[in-house]
Structure 1
Amino acid sequence: MASITDPNTSGMFTNAMEDMRNKLLKGLGEISEATSELCQTHRHFLKSAHDTCLKKCKDDEMLFETLRTFEKDLQQKTTSLKEKRSATSEVKAEIQQKETQKEDIIQKIEKLKEEQAKRQELIHSQNRANKDRLRNLQKARVVFEDHLGMEIRKILSKTQLVKGERLQFVFRNIDPSRPDSAYVVTMGIKGDGVYQIVSSDPALERLPALESRLQGTNNLAAFLANVRKEFIAQARR
């Protein structure tokens, strides 16, 4: 081993230390350059990450704004739908009420039709009865006017109790002492087609009974014949 006092040894040591120093400096330079590159890369990475985060935040804000808009629209549509449902329920209730009213009106119309049909049948029945009575009157007129000298007059009553057209049957040749004297029975037909005796001149006691029989038989000729007999019997008393 060389002595440290050897001048060559000192130079070698110095050279060795210088080489070591140069290597260290070179290593440190390389480390510094690597560190600088790493720092630069890191700064680029941080800037890129920052930009990405900013863009992501903006995108998220736009997304949230869109969601808030959708939520607001949804609330409005929900409110509108509730209002429409309420209006629909009211319309349905109104339709049901009108359907019920329609059924009631239809039933009333059917009832009116039935009543009208009954009234028409009653009118037809009364017309037939009146025609039968008119034929009886015509027959009675022929019998009594041509054979017994009876006169038939039409009169129009304006009193409060008896209104409308009435017939007067004027009998003559009742009293032999006064053949031209008039014996009168006034009668008409009620709304239901029943004969109605209004009065007689002179008054006959049995007139109500004769009227009742006439209403039961509708035989006007027999009624007039019986009235004439009553007038004759009363004139001979």
Structure 2
Amino acid sequence: MSCLSSSKIQLIMMSVTDPNLSDRFTSAMEEIHNEHLKTYADIVDTTADLSHSHRQFVKSALDTCLKKCKDDEKLFETIQTFKRELGHKKMILKEKQLAISDTMAEVQEKEMQKEDIIQKIQKLKEEQIKRKDLIQFQNAANKDRLKNLQKARLVFQDHLGLEIRTILGKTQLVKGEKLQFVFRYIHPSDQDSAYVITMGIKENGSYQIVSSDPVVDCLPVLESRLQETNNLQAFLANVRKEFISLARS
């Protein structure tokens, strides 16, 4: 409440001696009461205004909080979505890394196979070169042997009845082209009787005795001497001597 003004107090004091004191006092009290009522009304209006403002503030704050909660919920959902997408991307990345590792392993394995194939090709090339050199060597040796055969044919065929035949072996042991030397004029009483020795050439170009008919006991010795000297004429001459010895024994 507001305090009484000094003029009103003076009025009250002056009214003590006034015969109309009661009326004035009542009037003063009514005025004070009215002022109090006015002040109270002002307080009520102010309180109402404050209460309304407070309600508006609380409503605004509540709306703000509700909006903030909704925004937070959306943000949380967005974060969860990002987490799920991140987890999915990590899984895809892991799968790709495994695929890359497998691919790298396959590439390394193929590189090793490539190196192995290159080495094998190089080895085959070297072997081919060796075979080529061996074939050339064998061809040269065969040419020499053909020359020796031609000389032997001239010496033995025309004068001693030697016949040279070419045959093909049918068994694994005598597979390939063979030469068969047929000697005649061996047996004193049967000049047409045939004494045969069959020969071949090994892969290394050396001579190989396949068989003789009749069997010559010292044939392995004669074969070894032929391989050492490569003198086919001397070998055939020695074989003819052995056949003559067999025919006369």
Q: What's the TM-score once normalised by structure 1's chain length?
A: 0.80
Q: 1:145 is aligned with what amino acid?
A: Q
Q: 2:132 is aligned with what amino acid?
A: Q
Aligned-pair distance for 1:216? Answer: 0.9
- Does 2:44 match 1:70? no
Check whether the contact 1:4–1:10 (CA below 8 A) recurs between aligned residues. no
- When residues 73 and 146 of structure 1 are mapped into structure 2, their CA distance, relative to the original with a 3 A threshold, is same
Between the aligned partners of 1:49 and 1:122, the Cα distance in structure 2 is: 106
Aligned-pair distance for 1:137? Answer: 1.0
Aligned-pair distance for 1:35? Answer: 1.9
- Does 2:170 match 1:158? yes
Check whether the contact 1:165–1:188 (CA below 8 A) recurs between aligned residues. yes
Between the aligned partners of 1:142 and 1:212, the Cα distance in structure 2 is: 24
Between the aligned partners of 1:159 and 1:75, the Cα distance in structure 2 is: 75
Aligned-pair distance for 1:56? Answer: 1.4
Check whether the contact 1:187–1:198 (CA below 8 A) recurs between aligned residues. yes
Task: Give 2:151's match in structure 1, choosing from 139, 150, 174.
Answer: 139
Check whether the contact 2:162–2:184 (CA below 8 A) recurs between aligned residues. yes
Who is 1:167 aligned against?
A: 179
Aligned-pair distance for 1:152? Answer: 1.8
1:7 alignment partner, SS class? coil
1:196 alignment partner, SS class? strand
Who is 1:215 aligned against?
A: 227
Who is 2:46 aligned against?
A: 34
Percent of pairs with identical residues:
67
Provide structure 2 residue ranges, at least 5 long, that are not aligned to the other structure: 1-12
Stretch moving more, 1-10 or 78-87: 1-10
Between the aligned partners of 1:200 and 1:56, the Cα distance in structure 2 is: 117
In angstroms, what is the RMSD of aligned CA positions?
Answer: 3.0
Between the aligned partners of 1:156 and 1:89, the Cα distance in structure 2 is: 60
Between the aligned partners of 2:166 and 2:202, the Cα distance in structure 1 is: 16
Q: 1:29 is aligned with what amino acid?
A: A
